[in-house]
């Protein structure tokens, strides 16, 4: 069946699916695995069945600009470009570290990222408002453009995130420019679940 995905205004965690005159609210971050494997949102998942009144209450418009997504991708792309431009001067900001400091640095960064996600999950959660709504299972099939874009974006951010861990824990060398770019790559990787389903027409299956 063909359905339409609609953004939920000011809440990147959720999207609406409109199919066969029925609205469904999809939580793109309900599964913890989605933070490291966003493609899991393409497998059958549980969502909330909502009526039109609830939809109107949660959503002020059926269409939302994707400027936030574009800005997100712009920041990530800019970090890579910045690292490439500043490569000639990177040696001036390299400094060796001992294994203990490297481990602490990586752990503190990961703890900060995890803490950010916990805060945002609580901020954007709608579970209390929807606790009385019926739940059902659906399967979303992304279009080819969304599929290719997410796969490329995922492996790019995964590569640079892994490269950062290797540089810090194996090479035991910290580069300030690369370190900040690595943080952005970690954030991009763990936030890619909100990009797993794009706004617009797609194929979907509702399990009754």
Confidence of residue 105 (pLDDT cuts 50, 70, 90): confident
Burial degree of 81 (CB within 10 A; 0-12, 13-18, 19+): exposed
Average pLDDT, integer, range 65-82: 51
* Mode of pairing for the β-strands spanning 173-175 and 94-96: antiparallel
**Cα distance between residue 102 and residue 113, in whole Å:** 17
Task: For residue range 111-151, list pLDDT tens digits in order.
Answer: 999 999 999 898 888 888 888 888 999 999 998 999 999 99
Domain ranges of the chain: 2-207
User: Is-contact 7 15, C-beta < 8 A?
Assistant: yes
Residue 103, pLDDT > 60, answer yes
Mean pLDDT, all residues of the chain: 82
**pLDDT recorded at residue 192:** 93
């Amino acid at each position: 069946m063909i359905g339409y995905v609609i953004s939920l205004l000011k809440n990147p965690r959720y999207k609406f699916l409109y199919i066969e005159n029925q609205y469904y609210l999809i939580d793109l971050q309900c599964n913890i695995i989605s933070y490291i494997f966003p493609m899991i949102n393409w497998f059958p998942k549980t969502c909330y069945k909502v009526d039109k009144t609830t939809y109107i209450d949660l959503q002020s418009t059926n269409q939302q600009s994707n400027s936030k997504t574009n800005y997100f991708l712009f920041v990530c792309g800019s970090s890579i470009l910045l690292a490439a431009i500043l490569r000639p001067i990177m040696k001036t900001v390299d400094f060796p570290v001992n294994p203990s400091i490297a481990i602490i640095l990586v752990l503190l960064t990961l703890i900060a990222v995890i803490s950010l996600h916990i805060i945002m999950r609580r901020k954007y959660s709608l579970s209390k408002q929807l606790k009385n709504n019926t739940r059902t299972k659906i399967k979303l099939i992304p279009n080819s453009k969304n599929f290719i874009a997410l796969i490329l974006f995922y492996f790019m951010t995964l590569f640079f995130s892994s490269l950062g861990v290797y540089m810090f824990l194996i090479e035991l060398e910290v580069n300030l420019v690369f370190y900040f770019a690595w943080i952005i790559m970690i954030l991009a990787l763990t936030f890619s679940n909100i990009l797993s389903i794009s706004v617009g027409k797609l194929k979907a299956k509702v399990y009754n």
